Amino acid sequence: MKVLITGHKGFIGSSVYHDWEITNKGNITGIDRPDDIEDFDGGEYDLVIHLAAYANIRDSIEDPDNYYTNNVVKTRKLFDWCRETDTRLLYASSSAVDGAYWENPYAMTKWINEQMAPPNSVGMRFTTVYGPGSRPNMMYRMLQDKTAKYVTNHKRDWIHVVDVCRAIRCIADSDYTGIISVGSGQLTSVRELAEKMGMGHLPVKEDTPGERQENLADTTELRKLGWFPMYDIMFDDGEELEDPMVEAFAESGLEPDAQFF
């Protein structure tokens, strides 16, 4: 199987890329900076895993045009090629699409992706992903590095990046099409997590425009494919379970792009 993974230098993308490499899941090609998905000119692929996207709600509010250009305009060529060739496509959507997606530009771009996706595709609505290689501006990483300046009253469905990789494998091996939620299926509050990680003293930021209070995933369809979560963020940070992908990523020396999945 020949597989194209876009955004393969980003947080989720780099983990997925190495996961497919070490599990011998096929001939893998990656596209990421300095190359641009807008310059994609086709090829011979059996599967496309599209993870290249800007992914920050607060940044999207400050720069909505850039998010639309990157996440929608530049993505269209890839989606059109998958439609024309009937190539199976798995692409990153977001749990931010659930509910009032129109409240922030990032969620809007993901909603548009779902509307323009080809028939032979799966939109993966990721919840709050954490784990090795996460971006420095992500809440879990800031709590871990002791750089967080505040916490929020949000409750989040935290899913380890290894569980995301396992979910993508299950979806790729199935004939599922449409939208599927990818999360742990349980909520943990940011304040509860901060307390556990020794950061319970931080002030609470109340004003977080465009962000949902909760993002709990309904994992029913994902579990039907044989998937289940291995990690629990409240169980020793979810790091005690072993997976070869984690070690391989740590040894790779890659630094995930600060803007991409």
pLDDT tens per residue, range 74-92: 999 999 999 999 999 999 9
* CA-closest candidate to residue 38, choices 5, 72, 84, 8: 72
- Amino acid 22: pLDDT: 87
Fold of 2-129+160-183+218-231+242-252: Rossmann fold (3.40.50)
Confidence check: pLDDT of 251 > 90: no
| Element (DSSP H or E) covering residue 125 | strand 121-126
> What sign does the dihedral 206-211-212-216 (CA atoms) show?
negative
* pLDDT for the residue numbered 261: 52
Q: Is the pLDDT of residue 248 over 90?
A: no
Task: Name the residue type at position 30.
Answer: G
Q: How many CB atoms lie within 10 A of CB 43?
A: 12
CA–CA separation, 138 and 128 (whole Å): 9
The percentage of residues in the chain with a pLDDT greater than 70, rounded to a whole number, is 89
Query: pLDDT for 201-219, tens place per residue?
Result: 999 999 899 999 999 999 9
User: Of 166, 219, 237, nearest to 16 (Cα)?
Assistant: 166
Two tokens at 20?
Answer: 């497919």
3-class state of residue 27 by DSSP: strand
pTM of this prediction? Answer: 0.90
Residues in the chain: 261
Helix axes of 105-116 and 74-85: crossing angle, nearest 10 degrees? 20
The predicted-structure confidence for 145-199, as pLDDT tens digits, reads as follows 999 999 999 999 999 999 999 999 999 999 999 999 999 999 999 999 999 999 9
Q: Report domain extents, the chain.
A: 2-129+160-183+218-231+242-252
DSSP 70: I
Q: CA angle, corner 131, sides to 166 and 127, nearest 5? A: 65
Strands (E), 107-234: 121-126, 128-130, 155-156, 158-160, 178-182, 188-189
Are residues 75 and 30 in contact, defined by beta-carbon separation less than 8 angstroms?
A: no
